[in-house]
Chain A
Amino acid sequence: MQLNRNGHASEESLEQYASGVLEEPALGEIEEHLLICSQCQEHLDEIDAYRAAMRSAAARLEAEEESRKRFWTLFSARLTLRRLAWVMALGAVILIGLSLRVWMSPRESPQALAVFLKTTRGSEVRHAPARRALELSLDTTALASYSNYQVETVDTAGHLQAQSPARTSEGKVIAALAKGLERGNYFIRLYSPSHELLREYGLVVD
């Protein structure tokens, strides 16, 4: 009996009918019922639509899976040990070539950026770009003159970041920071040869 108590086809029967596995006399019973029952016709339409959607989605997923498998099969079949060795050797040659080129090419040392620093109090804090070589010109107005100076760069926590000797030129102390600085706020400290702190300058690296 393919019809339920309400006289309609059961879900199971309609599914079997949709998949074409129903046989006589059940098939006859369902088909005769479908001839006069719009509710079951609609239900069968829904089942057909669901089955079609599942079928095409599954087919598409299977095809994708199949092409992935085929690719890897082809790839692994072609990639014998000998070929792999050749590919790796070729890769190594290319890598060595690139390294040599980089190593042998003349290094472009970007020109150091000149930054003129005045004392922090009462003067504007200077800004400099990050990771760029800097040439610091320190204002020494009203300071005792020495033959040489020491310049230290510390961060806001007072940790030493760079230490560089300085030279004097036209009344200024020049110190170079070849590697530049990372972004942050720094203090440039100028010391006498006897390591006496003479002056402190502020520098913001952006």
Chain B
Amino acid sequence: MGTQADPPGPDAPLAGPNWTALVEKIKLDDQSGMEELYRVFSRGVRFYLCRQLGPQDLEDKVHDTFLIVVQAVRKGELREPERLMGFVRTVVRRQVAGHIDQAVHARRQQVGIESGTTVIDLNRDPEEKAIQQQHEDIARRVLNSISKRDREILTRFYLLEQSQQQICDQMNLTETQFRLLKSRAKARFGELGKRRLERRDVTRFS
């Protein structure tokens, strides 16, 4: 069975598990199949759900997702076992859409009702906030260190979310120039972040 036992190294080619065998095991109610499914997908599902919906009730959502996948596989709803990855993705996306729909619906119903409104706490913990603040300070330094025109280009891209094509057309840039500016800014960001980290380490150990 060609499933992944360990996560691959940074540059190692990523080979997927034998999806057909895995689906068979799940169908047969084999415990190792369930474990393998969980091991392969739990982090990814958690990552996707957290990225889309935030950390609230994450474990419950992950559990629900696996339940749906397993039940569907057992019922034979997955006709092409080699498409298990795509199937899991579809389930996760439906879960996300369902939660968003639910939240929108709940918000509509709660319009005008002051009491009993559930507000999702989107605030990050203090450590994350501090890290985010540091990142922002570094980004600010990067933006302050470049020309006004370059800053406008990056602002259009990151803040105004204009497309690369649109920016290149309006600012009279070639695609290469745009990519170069972006990658230089990113490299500078990484460099400043690294320096800050080194300084902190020196202070800590001196």
Q: Give A residues with C-beta under 8 Å from B.
A: 5-8, 19, 21, 28, 31-39, 41, 44, 48-62
Contact = CB atoms under 8 A, between A and B. Distances in A.
Interface SS of chain A: helix, strand, loop or mixed?
helix
B188 to A, nearest CB: 11
Contacts of B86: 28, 32
Nearest to B12: A6
Given A58-B143, A58-B155, A34 B44 contact: yes
Contacts of A55: 158-159
A21 B167 CA distance: 15
A193 to B, nearest CB: 74
Given A6-B11, A39-B8, A58-B143, A34 B47 contact: yes
Contacts of A39: 7-8, 10, 14
Interface in B16-43: 16, 40-41, 43
Contacts of A34: 44, 47-48
Interface residue range, chain B: 35 or more
A109 to B, nearest CB: 55
Contacts of A54: 139, 142-143, 154, 158-159, 185, 189
Nearest to A56: B136
A7 B89 CA distance: 18
Interface in B36-64: 40-41, 43-45, 47-48, 51
A58 B154 contact: yes
A59 B136 CA distance: 10
Contacts of B93: 31
Given A7-B13, A50-B186, A35 B139 contact: no
Contacts of A28: 86, 89
Interface string B114-141: 0000000000000000011001111110
A155 to B, nearest CB: 52
B88 interface: yes
Contacts of A53: 132, 135-136, 138-139, 189
Q: Which of B13, B48, B131, B158 has the most CB of A within 10 A?
A: B158
B48 A57 contact: no
A5 B15 CA distance: 12
Nearest to A54: B158
